[in-house]
Structure 1
Amino acid sequence: MTFTLATWNINSVRLREELVCKLMTEEAPDVICLQECKSPVEKIPVERFQALGYTHMVARGQKGYNGVAILSRLPITDAGGRDFVQMGHARHVAARLDNGVTIHNFYIPAGGDEPDREVNEKFGQKLDFLTEMRDLFHADKPQRSILVGDLNIAPREDDVWDHKKLLKVVSHTPIEVEHLVETQGAGGWVDVTRADIPDGRLYSWWSYRAKEWDEADKGRRLDHIWATSDIASAGHGSRVLRAARGWTQPSDHAPVFATFDL
């Protein structure tokens, strides 16, 4: 079974319904994982998506904030969702394919502006979210699983436009990177994107504040596709659809793709 998966922080699925349809029409991945849907599940525009062949969906929604959804042309079953750090946020949902592979879709908290949990509660919540993920993976080692989403951390030096300038900026601080690496190690996760594209700068997010985003290219790789070590070698064809950042009324994130032969 071969399938292509895309992960995309859509920054409002209702506002950017047309962009989701454009992705479905022009790229046609088998599975699309969306984050920051900002919609209750019942208000996600599933009719348009179903008409384009995405007849299956599992989601967790929330009015105006957060929200994660997995849209699929392949049959999927709901494999649950966890309220990490008991914040009442819709930040995780999982679906299982017929071949037994489980797809986890995460939207990790951004963490606010100040990288100090003593003065910034949101930063503490982000670190605690990652700690809970790590402990969960230690206790229940995942197998035949794929983890995707907006993890809101660019871990490598070449995942940001300027490593030194961003060391004290939330998303690239050493403590965040340490937490992410520990979480990855606890689950035996392999960064499929970087296994495919091991060298060079690679970004999936560009700030709305940069009008000439493409020319300035001050990006960060915040969106990730991981797989457990038992299936990671089946992943290939990784890419970032950078052009989507330039679509009309775009998300500030671009979709990230990988194909799996399972």
Structure 2
Amino acid sequence: MSFTLATWNINSVRLREPIVCKLMEEEAPDVLCLQECKSPVDKIPLESFKALGYHYMVARGQKGYNGVAILSKLPIEDVGDMDFASLGHARHVAARLKNGVTVHNFYVPAGGDKPDREVNEKFGQKLDYLTEMRDWFKEEQFEKSILVGDLNIAPREDDVWSHKQLLKIVSHTPVEVDHLQQVMEAGKWADVTRNDIPEGLLYSWWSYRAKDWDAADKGRRLDHIWATPDIKNAGHSSRILRAARGWEKPSDHAPVFATFDL
């Protein structure tokens, strides 16, 4: 069985319903994981997505904030969610495909503006969230699993437009990168995107603050696709659909894709 999976922080699934449909029509991933849906589950425009072949959805929602959804052309089963750091936020949901693969969809807290938990509660929440992710993966030791989502960290020097200038900027600070590395190591996760594209600058997010984001190209790779060791070699054809950042009323994130042969 071969299937293509995409992950995309959509920044309001209702506001951006037209470009979600555009992605479904033009790219047609078998599984589409969305973050920051900003919608109760019953308000997600599922009928529009069903009309394009996405008959299955597993989601957790909140009014106006957070929210994660897994939309699929393939049958999926809801296998739960976790509330790391006890934030009460809809930031994780998991679904299992018929072939036994479990997809974990995450929206890790952004962490606010200052990388100091003493003055910025949100940064502390982010680190605590990652710590609890680490502990869960260490305890559970998942198999046949894929982790996707907006992890809000660009870990490598070539995952940001300027490593030196962003070292003290939330999303690329050493403490965040270290926490993310611990999460990866605890679950023995492999970075599918970087296994496929090992060299070169690679971004999935460009700030709304840049009027000409494309020319300025001050991006960061905040969105990720990982896999457990038993299926990491099944992942291939990774890509980031940069063009979607320029669509009408875009998200500030671009979709990330990978195909798995299982």
Alpha-carbon separation, structure 2, partners of 1:9 and 1:255: 7
Equivalent residue letter for 2:171: S
Cα-to-partner distance string for 1:28-74 (whole Å, 9 max, x where unaligned): 00000000000000000000000100000000000000000000000
Equivalent residue letter for 2:69: A
After the TM superposition, list the runs of 4 or more consecutive aligned residues in structure 1 that deviate by more than 3 angstroms: none
Equivalent residue letter for 1:21: C
Equivalent position SS for 1:20: helix
Equivalent residue letter for 1:180: L
Q: Which residue of 2 aligns with 1:260?
A: 260
How many equivalent residue pairs? 262
Q: Which residue of 1 aligns with 2:147?
A: 147
Q: Which residue of 2 aligns with 1:205?
A: 205
Cα-to-partner distance string for 1:71-108 (whole Å, 9 max, x where unaligned): 00000000101111111100000000000000000000
Q: Which residue of 2 aligns with 1:17?
A: 17
1:162 to 2:177 alignment: no
Q: Which residue of 1 aligns with 2:111?
A: 111
RMSD, aligned CA: 0.3
Alpha-carbon separation, structure 1, partners of 2:129 and 2:183: 10
1:243 to 2:243 alignment: yes
Alignment gaps of 5+ in structure 2: none
Alpha-carbon separation, structure 2, partners of 1:84 and 1:37: 18
Cα-to-partner distance string for 1:169-204 (whole Å, 9 max, x where unaligned): 000000000000000000010000000000000000
Cα-to-partner distance string for 1:190-237 (whole Å, 9 max, x where unaligned): 000000000000000000000110001000000000000110000000
Equivalent position SS for 1:248: coil
Q: Which residue of 1 aligns with 2:185?
A: 185
Q: Which residue of 2 aligns with 1:234?
A: 234
Q: Which residue of 1 aligns with 2:120?
A: 120
Equivalent residue letter for 1:52: L
Give 1:17 deviation, angstroms: 0.3
Alpha-carbon separation, structure 1, partners of 2:213 and 2:64: 26
What are the residue-to-residue correspondences of 1:68-79 with 2, within 5 Å?
68-79=68-79
Q: Which residue of 2 aligns with 1:215?
A: 215
1:56 to 2:56 alignment: yes
Q: Which residue of 1 aligns with 2:44?
A: 44
Alpha-carbon separation, structure 2, partners of 1:229 and 1:207: 33
Alpha-carbon separation, structure 2, partners of 1:61 and 1:137: 24
1:94 to 2:81 alignment: no
Equivalent residue letter for 2:145: S
Equivalent position SS for 1:63: coil
Q: Which residue of 1 aligns with 2:174?
A: 174
Alpha-carbon separation, structure 1, partners of 2:238 and 2:79: 25
Alpha-carbon separation, structure 2, partners of 1:17 and 1:79: 26
Give 1:135 deviation, angstroms: 0.2
TM-score computed with the length of structure 2 as normaliser: 1.00
Alpha-carbon separation, structure 2, partners of 1:83 and 1:244: 30
Alpha-carbon separation, structure 2, partners of 1:87 and 1:198: 35
Alpha-carbon separation, structure 2, partners of 1:82 and 1:17: 26
Equivalent residue letter for 1:199: E
Alpha-carbon separation, structure 1, partners of 2:55 and 2:64: 24
Give 1:136 deviation, angstroms: 0.3
